[in-house]
Structure 1
């Protein structure tokens, strides 16, 4: 019987890479995304070499009822062993120009969504007697505020790091571990948008911004989604069974703590 993991925001980018990596390691994956078609496409890409059964669900992580419904469905039909809260959004603007609407959306998806998903997953695991694992996607920007044009994002990801610790502390008695991953400059579609935004805001070019990101990374390249996926796979593995409350920096040395 394979272990089952739900992954939010897995229709593309880091989330899709996490889904592929875990399926390759024998996990049965429930791919979820706000974009139902993208989640379904991810599910089609996943390995079934170990006899796994994969599925997809449309999910708005800011909708508490919807999140609870998915967690309970999977817990009651397949057994919920792990949950990866990866869904996120970003926008780039100077701090003084960030609108209330953008702030609300960033906090709703990046922080409230992680809270609601963690709560629903933990409740389902406790109710069904599962000693589970939860991994949250934070960011290098959740450990340092020295990031241009991303004040709302920084606030949300610092929140995820703190929330991860609070969850880990309270859920330890139920044998549920909670950790986070903190990626750096990851080459995804989201990053392409950020390159263009930062270039415009700093009167530069996307190529020059990309070069500056590589220069800021001691290992000398942009991070790939697979780099993050391998870190998540580790935190869900038996090798990490005594690790909880940690926020694992996976950024090529761009930020060291």
Structure 2
């Protein structure tokens, strides 16, 4: 039975990943900066394959804490995969982004992926475990033509570059590293972004949502489950010879 740690799995995309992977037989360690949310996710997970799921509080910007989780899991039940999914966003015009907001975005979205990737890789190497690491990037990591998200774009471009660097160095340890790049995902975070973009552009949330759907060739906003299926593929045996890739899962909203 394989074990996966998922960061930011207290809600949204991370929770969908946890639920789907548990349904597919994985033992899941749900982590989140909000411990109660991580516990809530754990209680939702299927145990049909006999799994004993775990939950842990984890602030991904704390490298020591990330290492502690990785080592604990590696030494007790084995660490087979790590998904760095935790992320934050807010919207503001480039010239108005305050430094504290920039710091938070880069700390969580990029530095957090770096620190958690280090922790997971160190634990996998120490225990001689071939493993999988998946990072959540974004279609905003492949194009800068995104309004009011300059700091977010910078962080996600960084995640894609980091994914390639990690994949190159960790290949000799039989560790694959890939990223998943969602588009317009219907989550609580997106609801906030709809309101922010509407206010900044002088529009309405409904009009912004309609524009996002119109920009998606498959004709709908994507769901967290759409992203989770992409992650499940990257963790599966079918992706055993894929590394350093950033998989677009966005309904065609951005094609590369």
SS of the residue aligned with 2:247?
A: strand
Stretches (4+) displaced over 3 A: none
Deviation at 1:223, TM superposition (A): 0.5
Q: How many Å separate the matches in 1 of 2:198 and 2:57?
A: 34
SS of the residue aligned with 2:151?
A: helix
Q: How many Å separate the matches in 2 of 1:53 and 1:86?
A: 22
**Aligned match of 2:178:** 179
Instruction: Tell me if 1:139 matches 2:132.
Output: no
Q: How many Å separate the matches in 2 of 1:35 and 1:144?
A: 31
Deviation at 1:148, TM superposition (A): 0.1
SS of the residue aligned with 1:84?
A: strand
**Aligned match of 2:218:** 219
Deviation at 1:132, TM superposition (A): 0.2
**Aligned match of 1:45:** 44
CA distances 1:107-135 after superposition (whole Å, capped 9, x unpaired): 00000000000000000000000000000
**Aligned match of 2:94:** 95
Deviation at 1:173, TM superposition (A): 0.2
**Aligned match of 2:8:** 9
Deviation at 1:72, TM superposition (A): 0.3
Q: How many Å separate the matches in 2 of 1:20 and 1:180?
A: 19
Q: How many Å separate the matches in 1 of 2:63 and 2:127?
A: 20
Deviation at 1:80, TM superposition (A): 0.1
TM-score scaled by length of structure 2: 1.00
SS of the residue aligned with 1:120?
A: helix
Instruction: Tell me if 1:30 matches 2:29.
Output: yes
**Aligned match of 1:231:** 230
Q: CA RMSD in A?
A: 0.2
Aligned length: 256
Deviation at 1:185, TM superposition (A): 0.1
CA distances 1:114-162 after superposition (whole Å, capped 9, x unpaired): 0000000000000000000000000000000000000000000000000
Q: How many Å separate the matches in 1 of 2:77 and 2:149?
A: 39
Unaligned runs of 5+ in 1: none
Q: How many Å separate the matches in 1 of 2:248 and 2:186?
A: 16
Unaligned runs of 5+ in 2: none
Deviation at 1:75, TM superposition (A): 0.3
Q: How many Å separate the matches in 1 of 2:184 and 2:85?
A: 16
TM-score scaled by length of structure 1: 0.99
